[in-house]
Amino acid sequence: MSEILVVDDELSMREFLEIMLVKEGWRVRTAAGTSAAIELIEKLVPELIITDLKMEGGSGIDLLKQVKPRFPGTEVIVLTAYATAETAIEALKLGAYDYLTKPFEVDEMRVVVQRALERQRLLRQNLRMRAELKGGYDFGDIVGKSPRMQEVYSLIEQVAPTRSNVMVTGESGTGKELVARAIHLRSPRCDEAFVPIDCASIPDQLLESELFGCVKGAFTGATADRQGLFELANGGTVFLDEIAEVPSSVQVKLLRVVQERAIKRLGEARDRPVDVRIISATNRDIEDEVEEGAFREDLFYRLNVIRVELPPLRQRREDIPALVRHFVRKIAGEEERAAPAILSEALDALENYDFPGNVRELQNMVERAVALAGGRPIGPELFTEYMQKGTKLPQLPFDELPEAGTDLEGVLASVEKNLLEQALRRAGGIKKNAAELLGISFRSMRYRLLKHGLD
């Protein structure tokens, strides 16, 4: 649970914020001034500080000057009843996450706090990953020594220190987000946030506000000013997964971000500068999308400065044993139990399977096998039944077209429903993963599930 420190010389404001924030599920401590706050900060090192700007015995600016150099990981939100452009700019230059003007809306405060804590979570995640790098796990969950993967590793090392935008392509389940994280962690931006955005899972009408933020009243439900994910990633890296799913109306605004390094919140006239590196990814043939007019050519060239292509698992079968051992160790470690042995016959069976779901499917299969093995050595029988089911296609109700004809729509609907059910089972009920197994978009998956009453 996140720890928040509220600093204000007005008792009523401290009590109000404490009640509001505790109600949201956060732990809250309060201080009546700068000196008391510093003592608490040294003991607690809170994730977030909310401080008034003008207080007796020291201002919020004074607190910022003391806190950020010593505790750079702590976010600070400044409150002020005397907002001017100069004070706001000074606070932001000193490292404040944001500032709010009194009186503020409760929803506005809630959203800003949530975003600040989300940034904290992302930064902590980055620190953990960097610690793993120093421990020798050079490419995290990207495992393999095949020539194709050696080319990928080399390209990651070459492009990471640059500012260039990168596009990662490959089939579903090949590890595109892992590559994006590896590039970020080797870049000069590694101490800043890495913000992944699944463009396919956000409805079209909400995608723009999620990416760029909005102001109060911009649309129904916009009850407060809200920061977008590009602002959250300022100084770091944005990972736009499923970039081909972005609607044309948002593609125009993405192009502007790339060209001018600025965003406009929905419903706002002024520009907000942002400094982000964009790594995008798609499992579709993006050149075909451009040729068909579904994806803007100018945006494609801006995002596709450097291309990293990930091979499907069936084209690097020699990496399967190393991947299996990696996943077994990882799963056993997460469950705090000894890693079971893997029989060579099990590895042989896996190397002869085509893995339509690639590395993600292999990981799911290994996790299932570890659970079923119960500590015993993992043999081929824990995989073969799954592989046989996975390769068996739904049968048509006839081998040849009947003389009297058939109901084509009904037959196709039956086959489609069967495949949807199989994909959902294989993906453990996770719709996004099931969509990837079927090679369709998340939106298409939702539509088809509703059509067949499976949602």
Question: What pLDDT digit, counting tens, does each position of 70-111 carry?
Answer: 887 788 999 887 656 677 778 888 888 888 888 888 888 888
Listed range (115-119, 183-187, 270-274, 300-304) with the worst mean pLDDT: 115-119
196-219, pLDDT tens digit by residue?
999 988 888 789 988 998 888 777
Q: Is the pLDDT of residue 393 over 80?
A: no
What pTM value is reported for the model?
Answer: 0.64
CA separation for the pair 455, 445 (Å, rounded): 10
The closest of 205, 262, 260, 253 to 231, measured between CA atoms, is: 262
* Nearest partner of 241 among 449, 455, 436, judged by Cα: 436
Rounded CA-CA distance 426/437 in Å is 9
Contacts with 136 (C-beta within 8 Å, 6 or more apart), sequence order: none
Task: Quote the CA–CA distance of 323 and 51 in Å, as a whole number.
Answer: 49
- 3-class DSSP state of 99: strand
Query: Which stretches of 199-309 are DSSP H helices?
Result: 204-212, 229-232, 248-260, 286-291, 297-303
Q: State pLDDT tens for residues 110-165.
A: 888 988 888 877 776 666 665 555 444 346 668 888 999 999 998 998 999 999 99
For residue 138, the model assigns a pLDDT of: 47
Averaged pLDDT for residues 157-183: 93
Per-residue pLDDT, 339: 87
For residues 35 and 66, the answer to whether their CB atoms sit within 8 Å is no
Alpha helices of 247-394 — where are they, by DSSP H?
A: 248-260, 286-291, 297-303, 320-334, 344-351, 358-373, 381-391
As to burial, measured by CB atoms within 10 angstroms (0-12 exposed, 13-18 middle, 19+ buried), residue 71 is middle
In this predicted structure, the answer to whether residue 255 has a pLDDT above a threshold of 70 is yes
Domains of the chain plus CATH, in order, are 3-119 (3.40.50.2300), 138-311 (3.40.50.300), 314-391 (1.10.8.60), 408-451 (1.10.10)
Token look-up 């090679």 returns 439
pLDDT confidence bin for 246, thresholds 50/70/90 = very high
The answer to whether 167 and 298 are in contact (CB under 8 A) is no
Cα–Cα distance for residue pair 166/408, rounded to 1 Å: 44
pLDDT above 90: residue 401: no
pLDDT at 398: 64
Mean pLDDT of 344-365: 91
CA distance 27 to 7: 14
What does DSSP assign to residue 196? E
Q: What integer best gives the mean pLDDT of the chain?
A: 85
- What are the residue ranges of helices labelled H in 160-228? 176-185, 204-212
Portion of the chain with pLDDT greater than 70, in percent = 92
Q: Above 70 in pLDDT, residue 392?
A: no
14 or 43: which leads in pLDDT = 14
183, 196 Cβ separation under 8 angstroms: no
Contact 165, 305 (CB under 8 A): yes
Is the pLDDT at 54 greater than 70? The verdict is yes
Q: Is 336 exposed, middle or buried (0-12, 13-18, 19+ CB in 10 A)?
A: exposed
